[in-house]
Structure 1
Amino acid sequence: MRAKITIFTSKPTKKKTLSNTSYRNLLDEELFYRIAQRKDQDAMNMLYKRYAHLALGVGLKYLPHEDAKDIVQVVFVKIWTDAAQHKVKSFKPWLYTVVKNQCLMELRKTNHTVDLPDNGFDFMEYEDLSHHKMEQEQILRILESCLEKLQAPQKNCIELFYRGMKTYTEIAGLQQLSDKQVKTYLQNGRRNLKICFSQHKNTL
């Protein structure tokens, strides 16, 4: 999949209706509304800055790197052109679903199959909350602390899958495990991370 796509950036446009600080303080849903109602380029840039790398992380679960990058651009172009057609109450899970569905559509076009990741834990749910409740540094510290509490096989599989972008088969080879064992360690590790993170978040 290769396409010529408009790439959104975090650079401000010349015509502004809000200050940079004001845009940073807006909720995702408020930014989306400004795109839908006003075609606000600065709001679009802010959403792209917040979520492009997280959307890419979702895409990489299904597609090679270059194809995943293309999918991210396709999705953000659709947000720009079609936002007025959607009522989005919670932007992050909506974006996750849109990116995932776009990836699956691409796979169907090429007659590929893929092992779908389970919903036990997703870093997209927690990574970029600095503009809502917590500073990103706090989130990273919590995640690192929770990772250290995992059993070694769970921790190794989680890090190789999410940070190393390895497939089940690659992890199995590196860790001398079966694909089934890798899947089990990932499922249990994600579940334990989600529990641990939720416990920390509730105390803030």
Structure 2
Amino acid sequence: MEPQAAAGVALFDLIAGVDARLRALPTRLPQQAPPVERWVGILFRVGERLLLAPLEQITEVLTMPDDLTPLPGTASWVLGVANNRGTLLPIFDLAALTAGAAPTRPDADRVLVVRQDGLPSGLVASEVIGIRRFPVTERLAESPADLGVLGPFAEAAFRLADTLVPVIGLERLLAAPRMSLGSV
């Protein structure tokens, strides 16, 4: 046999031996933990209070519109109506609703746009901090007791560092009779 042919046979035998050893190893896949189901929401602040809202309830976050048309005869927390890309958007001030505070317009104010029965409404938050994800198993049924007018709309809470942060159902809040544009 020629030296090149002998080297080829030796190389083939070597590869066949490695293949046999690899095939003899166990073929189990590594254990994988099932994915953790997560609750996703928007963390925002109204005054000094941190709140969460389910992400699926918020269609967009806007900067405070410059041009608001006031609506006479409405409650103090109804700031007015804005034109949002051709759609009328009623704007409600959550700080004025919850604390009776006079509306202030610092640069951090953001408008959470929520669709209620297909119609958009804007809820002014003092600050939108961002999206937060929590394992569903960390969802607490109880909420802080001192939520005032937001208490009936608290659906649950999550612990963020040392703070219990309530989840507020914004769609339920907007459906409340108190939020109708005609209520004072």
The bucket for the TM-score relative to the shorter chain is: under 0.3
Q: Which has the higher helix share?
A: 1
Q: Which has the larger radius of gyration?
A: 2
The two structures have a TM-score, normalised by structure 1, of: 0.22
Q: Which has the higher strand share?
A: 2
The two structures have a TM-score, normalised by structure 2, of: 0.23
Larger RCO of the pair (alpha carbons < 8 Å, separation 6+) = 2
